[in-house]
Structure 1
């Protein structure tokens, strides 16, 4: 079992991880999620003794990694698949690791077979593809037959067959009673692989719960309703009727309606009573990706801006894409271009933390071109008149502590 208590890591004035408390228990695949720069890699490095915590502690089986006897036979890890001497063959790379840990030579052949690299065992690793390098890194993690395994993006570069193999491998290792801790950005894969989730944002804990509880806490089921695009007046008519019947209706970007508070048979009856033809009426349960995006949208450090060229593109035809075409406002009820609607019935998450609102920045007036004459100076008060009091300056908004706003550039991994 992996246990972190008050785990904190600072680099000068920058805080990468702040007061993390969690347990990774054996017998289950635990997913480790968070946006880029949230502190996942730093946390995993502290678990493995590669970085020393500024405060707090993290233990494996009750002991820090550096105090484990023959740690390579108790803990296996894939942190950087490229950490291989390019001049060594796959076999010799694993053999050197085995000899350092006192592992029999026969184990090298076993793990090469497990990861499917027997056919290239004698080839130098510098010629390996990204997926082959990932397989070699997984082989190194399995070499000592450890009870605790950590994987950072294990399916990176793998083809669909390889992804399925990794998924089944993780489940099999957990079924054997091992502790499996997996970091990944692929929400669809985590939904199929993980049993439990630990989610962090900006170095702080956001969630520590099962996958099912995480989805339930950050989403609510709804019905998706669509009517013919050529009948916008009936769309408004149906919306009003559903609201009158006690439902809550939100427009979706593709023109469909998201309805909560009413069962599907009731929605069908309302549409029939008002002579509205339906093209789609389907139940929808939020995916892990949608729940994750709703949970972490306030903890994303790197967010794209709108393309400035969008204004030069012709508007979309009516009825296609987001209502109103490119640049149209987000449908009412949605939290923003990258956000998700707050759904009625959505349970508050005890780990969600309110992010401080950014102070509005005053827009600077455009400077006139140099070839234009400078504006005339303001008129001076007549002699003997009291001078006007200087205009009060707006107080600057208090800034957040530096160690919570500045991010460690190294942690962007």
Structure 2
């Protein structure tokens, strides 16, 4: 069992972990969750004796890690799968660890078979993929057949088959009575693997409970009710009856009703009493990801500055509905394209504007995007400025192409002669 009491870690004036207390019990898979920078890795390093706590204590089986006799045979850990000498073969890497801990060499071949690396055991680890490196790290953690195991992001880089294998491995280890402590950012995978959750935010404990209790405490289940689409008046009748009975009704976009505050049997009785046929009456429970986002939304230190422009919003409160889109109205935070300018070219400014290069600097000799290619100018020869021709009378014959077949560039409309042309400022980057 792992036990932390009043665990605190400070780096100068920054507090990474503050007064953290929890227990990781044997026989269960305990998930360790928290936003980036919340102190998960620091906590694991203090458990393994890699960092000294500023105050408080953490023990494994009643002893600090450094005082455990032959700790490598009692505790296995995967903290950084890249901490391997790239020039060593996978088998040699594990043999070195086994010799340091007094583990028989035959155990190396056993764990290589467990993690599926027996065919590449003599290949250098620097040629391993990310997933193969994770498997090698898991093999190192299992090498001493320990009773306590810590894994930091064990499924990182694994394919779906590998993720399923890790999930079954964690459950099998816990079923043998071992203590399994797993940190992960994949909420969907944690929901299928962990039995208990420890959630921290900004170095402090936010939750220590089973997954079922965590989801129930941080989300609101609801009943989805659907009536025949051809009878909207019955839907309104049922909605009024449910509201009168103390329930809360929110319409969904597909015409169904989201009901909270009443159990499914009570909703069924109300529908029967009001003579309303039901096409659907089903319970819905929020996912672990939704509950986690709601719990930790105030503990996120690293949030994108473009969240508002991208239309990203915080999780809705329990039972709330997202706002319906308004026809003809853009999403909040997005910017409409600029209106077309004179001349029919939507993003081309007047020719007097200084053209710029692809990264905003002055461009050299950049052609007009709508001008046809003409004869190449001689290098070093000055070209006369192009004058805008006078407008021909309405009864004038159409212009003929000059000899050679090349047409001159289309003139850009100029402002009226009464007002001098003003250079247009470049648009702001949108």
The question of a shared fold, defined as TM-score above 0.5 by the shorter chain, is answered with yes
- Once residues 12 and 255 of structure 2 are traced to their aligned partners in structure 1, the CA distance between those partners, rounded to angstroms, is 50
1:247 aligns with 2:247: yes
Higher Cα radius of gyration: 2
Q: Which residue of 1 aligns with 2:49?
A: 49
Aligned to 2:79: 79
Range moving further from structure 2, 207-216 or 24-33: 207-216
Q: Deviations over 1:114-154 (max 9, x none)?
A: 00000111111111111111110000000111111000111
> Are the aligned partners of 1:220 and 1:286 in contact in 2 as well (CA < 8 Å)?
yes
Equivalent runs, 1:30-109 vs 2, <5 Å: 30-109=30-109
Shift of 1:179: 0.9
CA distance in 2 between partners of 1:58 and 1:158 (Å): 31
Shift of 1:30: 0.9
SS at match of 2:297: helix
Aligned with residue 331 of structure 2, among 324, 327, 332: 327
Structure 1 residue 127 and structure 2 residue 127: aligned? yes
Which sections of structure 1, spanning at least 5 residues, go unmatched?
311-320, 330-413
Distance 1:141 1:254, change over 3 A: farther
1:226: Cα distance to partner?
Answer: 4.9
Distance 2:230 2:51 in 1: 61
Does the 8 Å CA contact 1:255/1:322 hold for their aligned counterparts? no
Match of 2:9 in 1: 9
Q: Give, in angstroms, the shift of residue 34 of structure 1.
A: 1.1
8 Å contact 1:8–1:53 — kept in the other structure? yes
**In 2, Cα distance between equivalents of 1:52 and 1:193:** 30
Q: 1:230 and 1:303 mapped to 2: Cα distance?
A: 46
| Structure 2: unaligned runs, 5 residues or longer | 312-321, 334-430
- Other-structure match for 1:399: none
Where does residue 309 of structure 2 map in the other structure? 308
Alignment correspondent of 2:375: none
**Which residues of 2 match residues 390-405 of structure 1 at below 5 A?**
none
Higher relative helix content: 1
C-alpha contact 1:255 1:323 (8 A) present in aligned 2: no
Q: Against the structure 1 CA distance between its residues 102 and 12, is the aligned structure 2 distance closer, same or farther, given a 3 Å change threshold?
A: same
Distance apart, 1:269 and its partner CA:
6.1
1:191, 1:92 → 2: CA distance? Answer: 36
Which residue matches 1:159?
A: 159
The offset of 1:282, in angstroms, is: 1.7
Aligned-pair CA distance for 1:207: 1.1
- Residue 294 of structure 2 corresponds to which residue in structure 1? 294
- The answer as to whether partners of 1:215 and 1:288 remain within 8 angstroms in 2 is yes
What CA RMSD, in Å, does the superposition of the two structures yield over aligned residues?
Answer: 2.8
TM-score normalized with structure 2 length? 0.68
1:142 is aligned to 2:142: yes
Mapped to 1, the partners of 2:292 and 2:4 lie a distance apart of 22
Deviations 1:167-193 (A, max 9, x none): 111111111111110111222222221
**Superposition pairs of residues 204-243 of structure 1, within 5 angstroms:** 204-226=204-226, 239-243=239-243
User: 1:99, CA displacement in angstroms?
Assistant: 1.1
Q: CA deviation at 1:261?
A: 2.1
Whole-angstrom CA distance in 1 between matches of 2:293 and 2:251 = 19
Distance in 2 (alpha carbons) for counterparts of 1:135 and 1:160: 14
Aligned length: 320
